[in-house]
Chains A and B, each alone.
Chain A
Amino acid sequence: DADVTQTPRNRITKTGKRIMLECSQTKGHDRMYWYRQDPGLGLRLIYYSFDVKDINKGEISDGYSVSRQAQAKFSLSLESAIPNQTALYFCATSGQGGSGELFFGEGSRLTVL
């Protein structure tokens, strides 16, 4: 089984719908991240959490919210999806600070019509 699991892997939705992407990990890491990948734009950080009681905004947090339900679970929500949120979303974990290796899930492809 994968160490970092994302659900759903693919989702098509309509403008205005609420969407939740879920991430769970079995690596025992405290730090969890949500990234967005768009062609030609690389990986951009949406939100990150260094422990269960810690939530921080990343580079592109507008239009998104997160919930850290437990050490192993970190969810990303789009309260009212819009077409320019169509992208590939990655959850990642790390065991230490900025210079620690990131372990990524396999991604959740979201299409907003």
Chain B
Amino acid sequence: GENVEQHPSTLSVQEGDSAVIKCTYSDSASNYFPWYKQELGKGPQLIIDIRSNVGEKKDQRIAVTLNKTAKHFSLHITETQPEDSAVYFCAAVTGYSTLTFGKGTMLLVSP
């Protein structure tokens, strides 16, 4: 089955800096790669996703890049703000299967 590795497990940045979280996947057939954000005391929520036919996608301050050859994808957050502090999960899936999640990255943005 699919295996998703996520790094780093924790990331501390100063407000205004950029943050990058990286994931690798094992199944070359995986074709959908979402990112979820989990705020304290809440369930995860989808923030951005990318499909295998696209190399990059942006939504305001967040962007995701995908390198199919290397089987890795990354989340980029620019101009970080304290409200970006949360746990972020990457995931991968093939077709109609179920998502396999990475172990999560705790992002702390200090004012």
Contacts and interface: CB of A to CB of B under 8 A. Distances in A.
B95 A98 contact: yes
B70 to A, nearest CB: 21
Contacts, number: 57
A42 B101 contact: yes
A99 B93 contact: yes
B24 to A, nearest CB: 14
A95 B31 CA distance: 18
A37 to B, nearest CB: 8
Given A42-B103, A45-B98, A98-B32, A106 B42 contact: yes
Interface string A32-45: 01000000111111
A101 B36 CA distance: 10
Given A43-B44, A90-B43, A107-B43, A99 B51 contact: yes
B43 A104 contact: yes
List the 4 closest A-B pairs by CB distance, nearest first: A104-B43, A97-B96, A99-B32, A42-B103
